[in-house]
Structures are given as C-alpha cells and as structure tokens.
Structure 1
Amino acid sequence: MSTIEFSHEEKEVLSHKLKDYVAKELDHEIGQFESEFLLDFISEHIGPHFYNQGLSDAGSVIAAKFEDINDALYEIEAPVEHSR
C-alpha cells in the first residue's frame, strides 16, 4: 500500500474538521499544528484499516459483477449436441 497523502487544500479541510470535532465533542481547543499532527497519526495508523476495508468492498463488487458476466455468457452460449 502506498502512503496516504492529501493535497494542501485537503489537509487544511481535514485538519479544520478535526479541530471542530475535538472542540465540540471533547470540549478542548487544539491548534492547526496539533490537528495536522493528529491527521498524520490517523492517516498512518488508522487509515490503512479503512483502505483495506475499501479494497475488500471493491473486491466484493467486482466479484459479483464477474458472476453476472459469467451468467450472461452462459445464457448466450450456443447449444451443442453431444453425440458419438
């Protein structure tokens, strides 16, 4: 897995969301540096779990689509006589 990286704009938005969350839910004010540090921690240590779940979900969707394609191919298969 490659490292999860955000653009400068995305990092600003996400850091702001973390600051707001900590202020509202934990009744604690943190600065920009702290929120970016927290975002880096989440990205490095928690992000891979979400990434892996996303891959698993995508794999399930693809497997279901392949099954649909296989069923569609079977439906259009030409009949063949099996005689000796």
Structure 2
Amino acid sequence: MRNKPGIKLTKEKRAEMISAIKSYYSAEREEEIGDLAAGLLLDFIIEELAPEFYNQGVQDSYNFMEKQLEDLLAIQKQ
C-alpha cells in the first residue's frame, strides 16, 4: 500500500472499525476473518476509497456555502 498522508484514526476508532468489519463478514457473508485481515481491509478502504467520500463531502460543503453566500447577497439594499 502507498504511504501517503490521509485519514488518521485513533486506536479506539480503528479497533471499532475493525470490529465492525468482522461483524459484517460474520453476519452478511457468514465468514469469520481475523483482526489482521479486517485491519488490512480497513487500510485499503482508507487509502483507496475514503478519499472519494471525503472529496464529495468537501464538494457538498462548497456547494452549500456557495448557495448561502448567494442568499447573503440577496439581502443587499438596492
């Protein structure tokens, strides 16, 4: 995996997410995976997929703020 700056997780949050991945595999796929496999999957998601979600959130925030600024300009006195 590439070593690039990205999303940082606390130990507690990482453990929570690994547990969620393991629970998903157990419930949805009826497979048991270990901490290492779940951790590697989490690393893949963080490095390869999460940036798209992050960027979409940034774009959504930008669009929201842009609309709010347009609304602000609408209250100008004529």
TM-score by length of 1: 0.82
Instruction: Give the alignment of 1:47-62 within 5 angstroms.
Output: 47-62=50-65
Corresponding residue number in structure 2 for 1:29: 32
Structure 1 ranges of 4+ moved more than 3 A = none
| RMSD (Å), alpha carbons | 1.5
- 1:9 and 2:16 correspond: no
Give how far 1:5 is off. Answer: 1.2
Give how far 1:23 is off. Answer: 1.0
User: Tell me, which stretches of 5 or more residues in structure 2 are unaligned?
Assistant: none
Give how far 1:67 is off. Answer: 0.8
User: Tell me, which stretches of 5 or more residues in structure 1 are unaligned?
Assistant: 80-84
Corresponding residue number in structure 2 for 1:82: none
Measure, in 2, the Cα distance between the counterparts of 1:58 and 1:24.
Answer: 34
TM-score by length of 2: 0.88
Q: Which structure would you say has the larger Rg?
A: 1
Show CA shifts across 1:29-80 (max 9, x none).
00111111110000000001101110111111101110111112x2xx2x5x
1:18 corresponds to which of 11, 17, 21:
21
Number of corresponding residues: 75
